[in-house]
Amino acid sequence: MASEKYYLGVDVGSVSTDLALLDSFGNLVEKVYLRTRGKPVEVLKEGLRIIEEKYPGIEINGVGTTGSGRALAGVVLGADVVKNEISTHAVAASRIFPDVRTVMEIGGQDSKIIIIRDGIPVDFAMNSVCAAGTGSFLDQQAARLEIPIEEFGYYALQAKNPVRIAGRCSVFAESDMIHKQQLGYGLPEIIAGLCEAMVRNYLNNVGKGKEIEEPIVFQGGVAANVGIRAAFEKELGCKVHVPEYYDVMGAIGAGILAREYILENKKKTNFKGFKITDFAFKTSSFECDGCPNHCEIVNIYENEKLIARWGYQCARWEAV
Amino acid sequence: MQITFPHMGDMAVAVKALFQELGFSVVVPPPISRKTLNLGVKYSPEFACLPFKINLGNFMEALDKGADLIVMGGGCGPCRFGYYAEVQREILQEMGYEFSMYVIEPGIINNIRKIRETFGPLPFRKVVSAVRLAWNKARAIDEIYKLVLEKRALEVEEGLVDKLYAGFIRKIDETMSLDEVRRLRREYREKIEDTSAKYKRGIPLKVGLVGEIYLVLEPFVNLEIEKRLGQLGVMVERDLYMTNWLLNFLHLRNDEKHIRRAARKYLGSFVGGHGIDSVGNTVRYSRRGFDGVIQLGPFTCMPEIIARSILPAVSKGEGIPVLTFFFDEHSADAGIQTRLEAFVDLLERKKRQRMKGLEYKGEIVYGQ
């Protein structure tokens, strides 16, 4: 096993931190899905430890990071590729469904649509103003109703007549759900109504003006929700495919892109190795008072050594 | 009399030269910062667009520094902008500022009388030399900046082009000599040309920028989108420049003819602001072989909203990817950066596919 070359893809998102270990052909060997819990670096180290324990002594040939924490994860790991989540999701979806024409992804706090033709993305959109239709909101509602999030979708499937919930804004959606509850509608009906409202909201905002054509792949954490899946199929009137590893597609994409980059450029990886799980990473921030912009500068330290800095707009803090 | 005016890109350099050469003292508003934005947002109607808010912030900061005459654009249209000066005047007066305001309105006769009333008699010769200096500065800035947009993508030493450009703006702002302006223009043209690698690897991506003029020209409000694109290795071109706009405004140039013709298939009428320009120029960039187009507009901007809803048809009809950004005071770096990176990836893959033809599909890109 030690002679095999592996690639690692890491997706540090708002809600979850995912790791995907790929073999030398780019196939998924192992996936790790952890909650970010607001501590991206700690959780990232935890994920690495899990992989190291399961595959002791493996050689990592390339590392790619993605997600909103991609830059941070990139400097912590020594990534070869730091990619935006739209590109990584598109790559992973095309890998698993080579004919895919539409990718819908709903994550913790963002949702996106990617239109793919002949294997390359030609158009995309991301939710811009509101997170009403994303995982965090579902999480919150599941907690409010005291239903485990894993079972949330199944409630929706039991509904006979979903009620109509106003889904434009998550605060109003919640008021509307409570209102319908007080009127006496059943829980499954309300949950199914919420799923339909979220799907409507997604198609009207993120999917507006996009040519949604089959085959459609639905991925991201929310794809686990069978209620949302069913609502999509009902609204679009066609089958929606959910890949087996729907929850770590971003990480898979990052790994594939890292592999592509290493092979194409015949590079050696920058990966610092599994030893970083013992390193101490620290961040500190301060407000620069050099001008009225008051930039919030963040310093990232590895074992007391400054390794990265961002948040500035001018040359004053460029040197690390 | 202490004259001030709103910022828009590097326009202040030329406007300042104009008034100083006429013998007036000028208070240039402090560079737009978060403070400017916060002031503007606090005292503006919420649904006014971002340019309104930044203008107001500029005025407040300049009045605090001692300015007492605001020069502002006006007119009847081409969008809500025509009404902005009036509303800003009311807001500032209500806040207790004491100042007068000169609003540039259409119609020459009207203006000449009003100029005399506001600024006193101006000798013709003095006007000619002031206009000439300001115009030459503006032309030089636009010419050099056009080069910056191209060369940022190719620079060898990261950040050098921007450093040179900042130096150029500082020097051209200081000088009051026409010859020096011309010399600086030549000097910096060469210096910036020299920043690129002699041996280029591949052809960089080229993106056309369209949209509402203030959002295109002012880097603070578009979150330095041109710089971000340059850092991603993308050459940027745009039609909107201060001098270009002025030439068209004074009917010394007629780009509108070409723009209307290009837009005709998708949009047949003037829809206010730069709406038809956004559509027409997207078609023109596509015909010139650009890889993509980015549209910028302030949130709630009617002309750009119209253009935005037509652009998907243009994108499909002309086969050019288009990305739209609407900005307001809530726009954040991270969202813009992610979308830009994804857009650039998309353009790159499309270009690679086009260059390699059908071979691309068989290649190991997504694995075996």
- Topology of domain A98-242, CATH: Nucleotidyltransferase; domain 5 (3.30.420)
pLDDT at B35 over 50: yes
Give me the pLDDT at residue A151, please: 87
Task: Give the A-side interface with B, CB within 8 Å.
Answer: 25-27, 68, 83-87, 91, 94-95, 98, 118-124, 126, 128-129, 209, 256, 260, 263, 291-294, 313, 315, 318
The phi and psi torsions of B221 (rounded to 5 degrees) equal -80, -25
| Nearest of A169, A15, A149 to residue A85 by alpha carbon | A15
Q: Which of A255-259, A307-311, B307-311 has the lowest mean pLDDT?
A: A307-311
pLDDT at B147 over 70: yes
Give the containing element (helix H, strand E) for B256: helix B256-263
- Co-location of B227 and B181 in the same domain: no
- Co-location of B359 and B220 in the same domain: yes
Domain range holding B328?
Answer: 204-368
Whole-angstrom Cα Rg for chain A: 21
pLDDT at A318 over 80: no
Domain end, chosen from B162, B181, B202, is at B202
Domains of chain A, residue spans: 5-89+250-278, 98-242, 281-317
Closest residue to B366, CB basis, from A85, A95, A123: A95
**Both structure tokens of A79:** 């990534």
Query: Which chain B residues contact residue A120 at CB under 8 A?
Result: 346, 349-350, 353
* Rounded CA separation A108/A223 (Å): 11
pLDDT at A132 over 70: no
Task: Provide, for chain B, the percentages of residues in helix, strand and coil under a 3-state DSSP scheme, each rounded to the nearest 5.
Answer: 55, 10, 30
Give me the pLDDT at residue A136, please: 84
Domain end, chosen from B202, B220, B252, is at B202
- Co-location of B91 and B133 in the same domain: no
Chain B nearest-CA distance from A130, in A, is: 12
Q: What is the CATH number of the domain that holds B16?
A: 3.40.50
B79, HSE (Cβ side, Cα atoms, 13 Å): 24
Q: Structural domain tally of chain B?
A: 3
Query: Which chain B residues contact residue A126 at CB under 8 A?
Result: 335, 338-339
Q: In a 3-state reduction of DSSP, which class is residue A288?
A: coil
Residue A77 one-letter amino acid: L
Cβ atoms < 10 Å from Cβ of B246: 14
Q: Are B290 and B316 in contact (CB under 8 A)?
A: no
Give me the pLDDT at residue B215, please: 95
- Co-location of B259 and B332 in the same domain: yes
What torsion do the CA atoms of A229, A232, A234, A240 make, to the nearest 10 degrees? -70
> Integer distance in angstroms from the first to the last C-alpha of chain B?
74
**What are A26-61's pLDDT values in tens digits?**
889 899 999 888 888 889 999 999 999 999 888 899
* Rounded CA separation A163/A151 (Å): 19
Query: Which chain A residues contact residue B315 at CB under 8 A?
Result: 123
| Nearest of B202, B191, B114, B207 to residue B157 by alpha carbon | B191
Q: Between these two residues, B338 and A169, which has the higher pLDDT value?
A: B338
**What are A169-210's pLDDT values in tens digits?**
777 888 888 888 888 888 888 888 888 888 988 888 888 888
Tell whether B351 is within 8 A of chain A (Cβ). Answer: no
- Co-location of B190 and B69 in the same domain: no
Give me the pLDDT at residue B241, please: 93
Of chain A, the percentage scoring pLDDT greater than 70 comes to 97
- Co-location of B65 and B155 in the same domain: no
Is residue A320 very low, low, confident or very high in pLDDT (cuts 50, 70, 90)?
low
- Co-location of B196 and B324 in the same domain: no
Give me the pLDDT at residue A2, please: 47
Q: CB within 8 A of B316, min separation 6: which ones? A: none
- Co-location of B159 and B218 in the same domain: no
* Rounded CA separation A238/A216 (Å): 9
**CATH 3.30.420.40 assigned to A5-89+250-278:** yes
Query: Which chain A residues contact residue B368 at CB under 8 A?
Result: 25-26
> Considering chain B, what is the average pLDDT of its residues?
89
Beta bridge partners of B293: B208, B322
Q: Helices B333-356 and A85-96: crossing angle, nearest 10°? A: 40
**What are A56-88's pLDDT values in tens digits?**
888 899 999 999 899 999 998 999 999 999 999
Tell whether B362 is within 8 A of chain A (Cβ). Answer: no
**Both structure tokens of B65:** 């520094």
**What are B202-249's pLDDT values in tens digits?**
678 999 999 999 999 999 999 999 999 999 999 999 999 999 988 887
Query: Which chain A residues contact residue B326 at CB under 8 A?
Result: 128
Q: Between these two residues, B76 and A266, which has the higher pLDDT value?
A: A266
Nearest chain A residue to B338 by CA: give it. Answer: A84
- Co-location of B229 and B187 in the same domain: no
Q: Are A70 and A257 in contact (CB under 8 A)?
A: no
Query: Which chain B residues contact residue A291 at CB under 8 A?
Result: 31, 33
**What are A249-300's pLDDT values in tens digits?**
999 999 999 999 998 888 888 888 888 888 888 888 888 888 887 888 888 8
pLDDT at B362 over 60: no
User: In the predicted model, what is the mean pLDDT of residues B30-57?
Assistant: 94
A91:B309 CB<8 A:
no
Give me the pLDDT at residue B357, please: 56
> What is the side-by-side order of every strand in the sheet holding A305-310?
A281-287, A296-302, A305-310
- Co-location of B46 and B160 in the same domain: no
Domain end, chosen from B74, B101, B122, is at B122
| Nearest of A97, A63, A90 to residue A240 by alpha carbon | A97
> B249 exposed, middle or buried (CB, 10 Å; 0-12, 13-18, 19+)?
exposed
- Co-location of B362 and B222 in the same domain: yes
Q: Helices A135-144 and A187-205: crossing angle, nearest 10°? A: 170
Is residue B365 very low, low, confident or very high in pLDDT (cuts 50, 70, 90)?
very low
User: Do the domains A98-242 and A5-89+250-278 match in fold?
Assistant: yes
**What are B254-306's pLDDT values in tens digits?**
888 899 999 999 998 888 889 999 999 999 999 999 999 999 999 999 999 99
Q: Between these two residues, B20 and B255, which has the higher pLDDT value?
A: B20
Is residue A3 very low, low, confident or very high in pLDDT (cuts 50, 70, 90)?
low
- Co-location of B305 and B157 in the same domain: no
User: In the predicted model, what is the mean pLDDT of residues B69-81?
Assistant: 84
**Cα dihedral B7, B10, B11, B16 sign:** positive
